[in-house]
Amino acid sequence: MNRGEREGVDAFLEVYESSFDALYRYVLSRTGNHDDADDIVSDAYLRVFHRYRHVTDKEQLRRLLFVTARNLVIDQSRRVQPVALPVDCPSGEGQDATAEIVQDALAALEPDEQDLIALKYFSRLTFHEVSEILGINERTVQSRLRLGFEECDRRTDFRRVRGTLYDGLTFRLNLERFNHFWDSKC
């Protein structure tokens, strides 16, 4: 192995350690079950490692991982009926209704809008990182997220839950609360 490849492998290992949780949360939120998420995340890492082992730019490797995982999720969704959130995630007392309504709200969105929300809130990426992964402007990401949240409010029962959890807070904060709850249980 030459020096360039060794540096690329070192960069890949650093990206693996720093990005695994975010990538797994994103894929799990899009596939709906742990087995598919495990397969897709593993495949994404293998593909990026084999094709881009010479790349030393960590941000570029991170983008390549998320783009590869997103493409694999899209490929899988063409073969299987997609599920927005994991159905095997345990829920706490009083959280069942919230989890179901959040899942319904996400399911009401178009796949591209689901991707935006999954990348931003389940993977906890910045607007800039989401824009680079999807190849769109950062302001466009913010605008589409806002419109997606408005669509969730319009097409689902989320307003009722939002009012009981946090009087007057936005869908975004409830999604973050659900995400925190989800992380603690899964």
Q: Is 159 within a domain?
A: yes
How much is the pLDDT for 88? 43
The tens digit of pLDDT for each residue in 117-155 reads: 888 877 888 899 999 888 899 999 999 988 887 887 777
C-alpha span between 176 and 186 (Å, rounded): 15
Residue type, 40: I
| 132 vs 57: CA distance, rounded Å | 14
Q: How many residues does the chain have?
A: 186
Q: Is residue 88, in this structure, part of any structural domain at all?
A: no
Comparing 161 with 103, which gets the higher pLDDT?
Answer: 103
Single pTM value for the model? 0.63
| Last residue of one domain, picked from the residues 13, 44, 79 | 79
Query: What confidence score (pLDDT) does residue 59 get?
Result: 92
Residues 63 and 107 in one domain: no
Over the stretch 39-49, which tens digit does the pLDDT of each residue have? 999 999 999 99
pLDDT at 44: 96
In a domain, 45, yes or no: yes
pLDDT at 106: 76
Domain of 36, CATH number, reads 1.10.1740
Distance CA 50, CA 99 (A): 38
Residue 44 lies in a domain: yes
What is the residue range of 30's domain? 3-79
If asked whether residues 118 and 153 sit together in one domain, one would say yes
Asked whether residue 87 is assigned to any structural domain, the reply reads: no
47 plus 119 within the same structural domain: no
Same domain, 166 and 109: yes
Same domain, 45 and 109: no
**Residue 21: what residue type?**
D
**What is the predicted pLDDT for the residue at 118?**
83
Q: Does position 115 have pLDDT exceeding 80, yes or no? A: yes
The verdict on 53 and 100 lying in the same domain is no
Both 103 and 174 in a single domain? yes
Same domain, 162 and 134: yes
Phi-psi region of 171 (alpha: psi -120 to 50; beta: other; left: phi over 0): alpha
User: Which of 50, 79, 108 finishes a domain?
Assistant: 79
- Does 105 lie in the same domain as 64? no
Instruction: Please say if the pLDDT value at position 164 is more than 60.
Output: no
Rounded mean pLDDT, 80-95: 46
Rounded distance between C-alpha atoms, residue 22 and residue 120, angstroms = 10
Same domain, 118 and 144: yes
Domain endpoint, select from 31, 49, 79? 79
What is the per-residue pLDDT for 20?
A: 95
Total structural domains in the chain? 2
